[in-house]
Amino acid sequence: MARIGILTCSNATQDLGCSSASCLADLRKRAGAFAKYPSGEPLDLVGIINCPGCPTLTGADKLLQRIRGITEFGVDAIHFTYCIKALCPFTGKYRKALAEAFPDIKVVVGTHKSRLTEEEFRGRVKRLFCQDKKIMADMVLKKK
Ligand code: SF4
C-alpha cells in the first residue's frame, strides 16, 4: 500500500475555492500522476494540506513546518498538485527542500491530468484572479 499526502496551492484552494476534486478523482481512477503506481498496489490518501502561502524571504521554512501535518502521519509520497506544478514559481525549490528534509518520502510533482496546456491553465487562472471584484474599500468609500 502506498500512503499518499497531497500538497495544494493556497492560491487555488483558499483564494479560488478549489476543492481538490480533480486531484482526488484521478487518485481514485489511478490516472494522471497516480497511474505510475503499480496496478496491484492500493493507494491510501493520508491527508491534504495547503501551502502556507508564498514564501517571502523565509524560503521553504514555512512549508517545512506546515508539511508536518502530513509527514507526522507517515506517508510514502507527497504529491504536489497540478496547480502547484503549473502556477508556483517555487516548485523546484520546494521539491528539493522536502527531499532533503524527508529523504524517505518520495516527492512527486503532479496529481491530475489536464485537458489544457499549462500555459492555457495559467491564462485562465489569471483571468479568474483579475475579475472585477468589490473590496471593503469600495463599500467604505461607497463606490458603485
Ligand atoms: S508558494 Fe506556490 S504553492 Fe504556495 S501559495 Fe505561492 S504559488 Fe501557491
Extract the C-alpha cell encoding 3.
Answer: 500512503
Taking the alpha carbons at both ends of the chain, their separation in whole angstroms is 56
Tell me how far apart the alpha carbons of residues 108 and 63 are, in angstroms, rounded to a whole number.
16
pTM for this prediction: 0.93
Is the pLDDT assigned to residue 63 strictly greater than 80?
Answer: yes
Q: Is 55 in the pocket of ligand 1 (CB under 6 A)?
A: yes
Q: Is 90 in the pocket of ligand 1 (CB under 6 A)?
A: yes
The amino acid that residue 44 corresponds to is D
Q: Is 10 in the pocket of ligand 1 (CB under 6 A)?
A: yes
Residue ranges making up the domain that contains 64: 2-140
Tell me how far apart the alpha carbons of residues 107 and 78 are, in angstroms, rounded to a whole number.
5
Q: Is 60 in the pocket of ligand 1 (CB under 6 A)?
A: no
Looking at residue 115, which CATH number applies to its domain?
3.40.50
Task: Give how many domains the chain has, as a whole number.
Answer: 1
| Local confidence band at 135 (pLDDT 50, 70, 90 cut-offs) | confident
Closest ligand 1 atom, residue 7 Cα = 3
Question: What are the tens digits of pLDDT across the range 66-124?
Answer: 999 999 999 999 999 999 999 999 999 999 999 999 999 999 999 999 999 999 999 99
By the 10 Å C-beta count (0-12 exposed, 13-18 middle, 19+ buried), 12 is classed as buried
Per cent of the chain over pLDDT 70 is 99
Note the pLDDT of residue 144: 61
